[in-house]
Structure 1
Amino acid sequence: MNIRVSDTSSHPLDPLGWSPRVSAAFDAASRASEHPLVPGRVSAARRGGSVVRVSGGDVPADHSPAVLRDARADPAAAPCTGDWVALRRSGDTWLVEAVLERSGTLVRQGIAKDSHDQVLAANVDRVLICEAADQGPNVGRLERFLSLVWAGGAEPVVAVTKAELAGDRLPEVVELVRSVAPGIEVHVVSAHTGQGLEGLAERMAPGTTWVLLGTSGAGKSSLVNAVAGRDLMDTGEIRGDKRGRHTTTHRQLLSMPGGAVVLDIPGVRRIDVPGETEGVDRTFADVTDLAGRCRFRDCAHGGEPGCAVRAAVDAGELDLSRLERWNRLRREAERNRARGDARLRSEQTRKWKTATREGRERGRLKRGGR
């Protein structure tokens, strides 16, 4: 008999973000399975298996044949850190029987023509984008990170870290970040002095899932330790060029003292925007709003009459470099979407050729091998 867990009044996995949505997804998986199932959340992923946190703690689990088959067809479907899964016992081994429907993902676009997207974290509520005050900010990188978060369905929050190292430049740095991220919550923090930590800790509500996103050296590990009040993550030294060394080389799930969950992922060196323009347009909401006021719907925002975007640039209300970055990221998103469509078409063609070849072979065998 399958285990039903639809009563969420007090569930052992509440501290990990258990919700009515997850409960309903698990109940659906239970009804579809002939095996008794147990819910859990992936705390670390590895090739062919995962470490899953259940009510009794972390357990190693292999992936069932069905999960492995789905992952071969689409690597993005493989269990990743943050996934809610349904487990079953097979002798002395735990098996991931199903990956439950995701909500709020952080997906890195495949770079090669035939490469698949990579899911960095799943079931994310908020992403804390960390920009070191002494290194920037890099506005182009910040806009890419924001586009990535919006595209995945999570809420972005920005932390200007290492505030004590910026000196007199700190107000300028914060103003620049706010201009690139209008309407987005910005925290100015220092793991060294404690500045801003209390406000950030209060924001990390019990049962919410957070991901810290940023380059190596942005102070993500130090920030988590400072908010937690103890060392949950290793911290690394900063090189002479002020770039950090990777202290996180795999993804894992961390429970914060205040009740939030942090998905620890490695520092990201390169981010290509996903193949949809929605994330880009939300990041550049000010430009998108202006574009909606243009006289012509297909306005290219060049020299067309009635262009509200160019009018804002001419009036000094919109920075020309921001408009150029919006155009650049939209073109990149469209290229990535086209590349993804081409890959899908190629895979469908390959499957069709394989099925045709197998059909011919079956026909040959029916005719006696002739």
Structure 2
Amino acid sequence: MRSLYILFTERIMFVAATLLTVFSVALGALRMMNAIDVLYSVVLVSLAASVILWILYVLHRTHFFDLIDSIQFAAFSFLLFISLVAYNNPFGVREMWALFVIYLLVISFYQSQKMFLVWSGACFFAYGFIVFSELRMMLDVSTKEQMVILALYRASLMIGGMLLAFLVFSYSKKLKMSVQVQQAKKERKQLYRMVHALVPVVERKTQTSRDEIETMHVLMKSMLRALRSDVEEWELRMIVLLHYVSRIKWPDYFFDKEGKLTDFEYQMVKEHCFFAKEFLPDEPAYRRIIDALSFHHERVDGTGYPHCLTGDKIPLLSQVLGIAECYIALVSPRSYRGMVEAQDALSEIRLTQGTAFAEDVIEALAETISMGSAHNSHEQSLPSKVGLHPLKSG
């Protein structure tokens, strides 16, 4: 099914081409009856315009625009039309050069740098050709000084027009980017509110505290600073929030279960890795968040899940999230054990260097703990992997 835009464009072209053709024929008949010289140029221009519109209409009807960029072709057709009008100058307007400035302003609103450079160059060439033709006709009636002054005057007008169009292009591009940034921020806030609305449900379901969200955020932020990562604040907050809320996918009885999970239950546990992928739109802005959640249970020796990635193939954010989850699970009290001290938890994590976590990630955690940035004293019930030891499940 063809788009409504193309169908609407075809109808406009058909009506415009028909009216121009009728107009050209009428003017041609009037010119033949009255022999008015000025009508000759007007007829030529209107005929040329109608021919261009008929060509565009036929190309649309034959689906030619499915193969090329219709905007580029429209820019070419518009330039050809104003060049014909400026060259023939049927109305004898002295400042016909203004048509080219209008053309530059029109293409500047498309906000495509490549398109602007290509067609502004073509426009300048067409304008130069017309000015050169005009100067040639003035050779016999003007002095060299007059011609030089006229050439400089026309060139300065066109250069000024190009600068004006460039300013419009730059401003409109910045305005578009500003609007896009504001829309992206608004979308992120809406998504964050939607996810955050699930926090009370997860608290009741898992019998845990939402304090873990802030604890995880502080811990990961300090580690990422030590690793000199350029993760943005909104990304980090979304990662931590999604990680906490992803537990909503687990059945209620998981949180009361003691002992080892069955294979089927273990597969269900793995499903929370895909919560971000299922919830967030598949756009570049959210790619790091989705990857961080998807791979935070991967291990550097390839024994993790869900894809058994190894070494540097695991994103840094995933490693930081995984080790932060492990650390918080170790230092939080459980029904089957008391709270582990921070240094004891770090010592246990160090034993997994080269198997679960990379050395630089472990050292970033150690630096964070030594600086006192890690939360290790708030009493809360935080599930690691349900029914499993945080470091011995793979």
Shorter chain as normaliser: what TM range?
under 0.3
Q: Given the two structures, how large is their TM-score scaled by the length of structure 1? A: 0.26
**Whose strand proportion is higher, 1 or 2?**
1
Q: Given the two structures, how large is their TM-score scaled by the length of structure 2? A: 0.25
**Whose helix proportion is higher, 1 or 2?**
2
Q: Which has the higher contact order (CA 8 A, sep 6+)?
A: 1
